[in-house]
Amino acid sequence: MVDNATYVYRGTVDHSVYVDTIVTQAFSLEGKQAYYFVPIGRKDEEEALIERMATGLGLFLEEENKLKTVPALSRDALPDASLATRETMLAYPPKKGDRAEFGGRDGTWRHALTVVGLEDVRVPAGRFRHCLKLRTEELDEDEDNTGFVWLAPSVGVVRWERTTGRVDELVSYRIPGQEQVRP
């Protein structure tokens, strides 16, 4: 993860199209580098809150060869975030079948991520090879709330089939210190 990276996604659901711009923001959490994903230009803060919950618990950090998440569901919650509440989302290197459950406290939903495997993905931003495909599950719901997300090496989320039926695809991105190369 890199501070001030910008991602533009196009999402579609029920004949509606959404365009979201997300910027990564570095945040020092008890001396460790964490990252927060800031939706730019969002008028609906509740939708932005739901989006952060569905992709983790708000703050993200890498430590001990794992991607971890810490509850902080709004900018106002950042000062109260604590490493004591971090949970593992993904261990490195990921292996097919690996599963992690997280959330369920501090008003967050309980989630699970399961490694499905590697796939090539084509989205408006280009073709990305060897993307990590993850199955996402919301565990607190009675109905089937399963989705999928594809993570491209050195880029991040390139496609997300949400549990709501919305499908988001990466349209463009800018990562400081990295030249955007058409994959």
* pLDDT tens per residue across span 12-26: 888 889 888 888 888
SS (H, E, C) 19-80: EEEEEEEEEEECCEEEEEEEEECCCCHHHHHHHHHHCCCEEEEEECCEEEEEECCCHHHHHH
The values of phi and psi at residue 84, to 5°, are: -65, -20
Rounded Cα–Cα distance for residues 29 and 85 (Å): 12
Give 75-130 pLDDT, tens digit per residue: 777 778 888 888 888 898 999 999 998 887 655 578 889 999 999 999 999 999 99
Look at residue 122 in the predicted model and tell me its pLDDT.
Answer: 98
Residue 25: closest CA among 11, 35, 33, 16: 35
Dig out the tokens for 128 from the structure: 């990305």
Dig out the tokens for 142 from the structure: 């009675």
The structure's pTM equals 0.85
